Structure 1
């Protein structure tokens, strides 16, 4: 099976390495209406046009929608994740290199000079997208585990509410949320898939690695002060008591991985992120955890066991799976 898949990957990469094919693949984002349009704007001969178009259709990257050629679902995924993603990385490769170097220089004391320099690089695009300026993080985190420990500490001290949009399911933060909810704090959570890891698989991975997390998640779903939904979250973030804000910077080479975590103390940023949370919430749906724990624990354990046998122990390799 892997041999056939590798051959398909090679065929797609070979096709897109051709200048004409890449041109057509790019144009298909908006739709290719006719050869005449391409000839007038790009001077592509009819033979080259149909040869490359046929190749892209045969590979399953384009399809004909009435009179237009467009990306298939596979083509759209490859275009967004590979073509556009690579283009963006090349544009930002200077910043990416600097970020990696500075991230590796960070010590346990969060060297202020490194923090400030990383901030300048990371916040270039972040400030414009969030509609704020002059952002200055008070702390950086090199790992998810480090961020979780600080989050747990902050949740122990929170007074009123927290809004969390997360690509990660982690029983350690779930325990902190239950404790906060018991103090009558309001917990608002949006769960999201992270790359190929669905919310459901992440829950199973937690239960396999930490069996006690099953009861933790069950208590979380039953609390009257916990509200959960599922939506697409491009990067994790949280807002505590309308002031503290945590934001994840995803890995520029693999968006499914954690790269850096930033903490801010800013009521203005907190308000903006809360509004963003509300927009994600409005487009969300009932999350997998809520649905899962409406069933008897025995049924959940049986499904976890079946998943473990089907996929092996790989799910338990990462505590934040």
Structure 2
């Protein structure tokens, strides 16, 4: 059966996709939809030099093995070379997509919980336990904070922020209105937030920033495309400050959060199986702020002190 010829419909929102490309995708998914074929595809990830060994290890008959192997070759996922079989470029791409999909499936319950967070103003005790298990990673302090927020009357005052852009705008607005202190622990580097932090610092506001070590170079490379010359110069001025490590440090950040003036708090729910933004919350409460401030202090003291934090070293190189 020719699946491509029967694929005569491409959804409107994929209007820029050709029938041929859409049909090819259908054929690939159809081939990988067979368990034998999927087992072979995964097996070939590191190269397959012996079909005989592969047949034995996968527990397949020769007929089932070669039949499914041919399908994978025909759809362009696997190719034969002098040493045996390997992924094509297309095969490597689909392999990465497959692992990402596995992450999603492994965290299916958490994604359902995330949707409930977006759509509902109330959470059960079980829901909060799921959230704290993801966020706290065994930390009793973090679990206590989340229980305090979501399992009390304070929950009614919590504002959910559903997108990264809205979270940045709200954070910048609060930073610009700060009067005393800003303690920011972040997995992100955003030019708007940096600009607001620098302006607050120049007003005499105590500002401290903890930057996550993970993927720092990629973040800085993206940031350089967004920095104006004026903002870049303002950032580089901090190189002349002998107390730079009292303003910014690199650390291990479990999730992003910020405390402003000892009462206004932002915190995010980390993404499941990745590093993307999912959802953030904003609450005005001094008791909660004190808890987050204590957590920030612990992370700050455990962060490695350097004369120049890595993020500044990288920014200096691209300036």
Q: TM-score range, shorter-chain basis?
A: 0.5 to 0.7
Q: SS where residue 258 of structure 1 aligns?
A: coil
Deviations 1:245-265 (A, max 9, x none): 83443378xx68632125773
Unmatched 5+ residue regions in structure 1? 107-112, 208-212, 295-321
1:122 aligns with 2:131: yes
Residue aligning to 1:9: 25
Unmatched 5+ residue regions in structure 2? 1-15, 150-157, 283-287
1:54-69 matches, cutoff 5 A: 55-56=71-72, 61-62=77-78
Residue aligning to 1:319: none
Decide whether the 8 Å contact of 2:80 with 2:86 is kept in 1. yes
Deviations 1:266-289 (A, max 9, x none): 4675478669986xx9998964x5
Say what the alpha-carbon RMSD is for the aligned residues: 5.2
Equivalent of 1:219 in 231, 234, 240: 234
Scaled by the length of structure 1, what TM-score is found?
Answer: 0.57
Equivalent of 2:267 in 237, 240, 246: 246
Residue aligning to 1:85: 100
Equivalent of 2:56 in 30, 34, 40: 40
How far apart, in 1, do the equivalents of 2:182 and 2:117 lie? 36
Query: What is the deviation of 1:52?
Result: 3.5
Residue aligning to 1:174: 194
Q: Alignment length, in residue pairs?
A: 268
Deviations 1:138-162 (A, max 9, x none): 4563233553324663683565864
How far apart, in 2, do the equivalents of 1:234 and 1:55 lie? 45
Q: SS where residue 134 of structure 1 aligns?
A: helix
Scaled by the length of structure 2, what TM-score is found?
Answer: 0.57
Q: SS where residue 250 of structure 1 aligns?
A: coil
Decide whether the 8 Å contact of 2:187 with 2:212 is kept in 1. yes
How far apart, in 2, do the equivalents of 1:276 and 1:261 lie? 25
1:234-313 matches, cutoff 5 A: 237-238=256-257, 246-250=267-271, 258-262=277-281, 265-266=291-292, 269-270=295-296, 287=314, 290-292=316-318, 294=319
1:141 aligns with 2:160: yes
Equivalent of 2:117 in 74, 81, 102: 102
